[in-house]
Chains A and B, each alone.
Chain A
Amino acid sequence: MTRKRFFLLLVLMLLLYLGMYTWNQRTAILDTLAVRAGLESAGVILRPLHDLESVLHDIWGRYLNLVDVQQENERLKAELAAVQARMTQAGEERAELLRLRDLLSLRPGTEWNLVGTRVLAGRMGPNSLMQTIIIDRGYLTGGAPGTPLVTPLGLVGRVLRASAHTASVLLLTNPDSRIAVLGQDCRETGILTGRGPHRPLEVRFVARGAQLKPGELLITSGQDGVYPKGIPVARVLRVDPPAYSQFLEVTAEVLVAAEHLEEALLLESAEQLPPASAQAAGKAPGTASRNGYQP
């Protein structure tokens, strides 16, 4: 092959590549194909592997950690009693909230249904530039794109891409993640942004005069229309006065360490459910409304 032909071939390949890229950007056909075929096939392989890992882990845990079981059981019983007491209190508060809401003629808004899911894997392959995890739910089983993922501790992220039974979730530590939050005590709003793995989060656009304090919990404000209001997201680490801008420089830490996550809950909006399921979801225990969230 002469040098001229080689360069011609190179230019032709580059043009073909850019043509494919642009066409896909416009139609998303290749993206859909890759997600529906690739992610789904990988999920088919990952699910039994994950089950096998769990079985082996269980055997290991049962036989080698048997000594600690009794003590752990006692501790868990004590914790369970404390949680039950808190649940009873929370139930009372919820009943009071419903009464007050009725009194004020507030509509509860769209309900959310909690769907359990297992984490199959973390970030996988050379093409996963974002901080993501892979879960065993897809758009047919409660994990449609945009669905928030939570744990009892707080928010993990939201579904980015989904095949029928598998989905990848964008973590809130990713630099492209943006979440509208407010301080639980001071009620000041801001935008929570990730800065990469093992790095504190950044809270932008918090007004200079805000009374935000280190240690304060940040919860979703619900203003972005993606997350229901009231999900714990992060805890404030530092609040520094601004050097040049009119906003405070705030850093925060995540509440849920995604690298150790095994199970989580998807907050499926009733708009994604068939009418009968949506009605049932609204009445099911452990549901959340757009106006508030209770894990």
Chain B
Amino acid sequence: MMLLLEGGWWLGFLIVAIWLQQMLPGLDVLGAGILVPLRERSWLTLLWLLPVVIILQEGLGSCPFGSSVAWYVMVIFLFESLRRLVDMESFFFIFLLSLGVGCCSLSLSWLLAPLHMLHIDLQTTLDRSILQALFLPIAWSVLLWSRRWRYSHDAGE
């Protein structure tokens, strides 16, 4: 039953995330889902979710393969580094994570655009990075709220 609920939740997440990405151009909603197994220390979920998200983002994107790999490695590295320094449940953690993700988004686009031989508009990239940083705390709260059933079940066990 738990497995079915878990599968349904992730399917629902993927559909809603793709729909939201369609509504907000340039925003990474799928990436917020990567933070869930990281928080729950659920490596098996991360093992299947990470390739699925990378393939989806690379397919939807317009750059040669590789940007999403670098992007998610940076996000995971940032999450794990912050987890060692700050309590995951505190507001300060998600504030620093959002700030870091925004900076990573900007720097990665700026670094990879010459590698892909693409022109990037700095203003658009900056706007996108700010939007990404502002979006993350909201996504984090909504995702944790929507997975209360999971945490109450774990506590019951």
Contact = CB atoms under 8 A, between A and B. Distances in A.
Interface of A: 13, 17, 20-21, 24-25, 30-31, 33-42, 45-46, 49, 120-130, 132, 134, 160-161, 163, 168, 170, 174-176, 196-197
Interface stretch (B22-30, B38-46, B87-95): B22-30
Contacts of B31: 126
Interface of B: 14-15, 18-19, 21-22, 25-28, 30-31, 54-71, 73, 105, 109, 112-113, 115-116, 118-121, 124-125, 128, 132
A67 B57 CA distance: 43
B49 to A, nearest CB: 14
Nearest to B113: A129
7 contacts: A35-B58, A46-B22, A120-B22, A127-B67, A129-B109, A196-B119, A196-B124
Nearest to B115: A21
A8 B14 CA distance: 35
Which residue among A49, A129, A176 has the maximum number of chain B CB atoms within 10 Å of its CB? A129
Contacts of B28: 125-126
Given A17-B66, A45-B14, A128 B113 contact: no
Contacts of A39: 59-60
A46 B68 CA distance: 20
A128 B61 contact: yes
B65 A129 contact: no
B58 A127 contact: yes
Contact of A49 (B22, B57, B58, B59): B22
Contact of B119 (A36, A42, A49, A176): A176
A37 B59 contact: yes
A121 B22 contact: yes
B105 A129 contact: no
A38 B22 contact: no
The 3 A-B residue pairs with the shortest CB-CB distance, nearest first, are: A38-B59, A127-B61, A34-B58
A42 B59 contact: yes
Contacts of B125: 129
Contacts of B116: 129
Contacts of A132: 62
Contacts of A126: 26-28, 31, 57, 61, 67-68, 71, 105, 128, 132
A13 B121 CA distance: 29
B106 to A, nearest CB: 11
Given A41-B55, A49-B22, A124-B26, 4 more contacts: A30-B58, A122-B25, A127-B68, A129-B116
Given A49-B22, A129-B118, A176-B119, A124 B60 contact: yes
A134 B115 CA distance: 24
A24 B116 CA distance: 12
A38 B26 contact: no
A25 B57 CA distance: 18
A293 B140 CA distance: 51
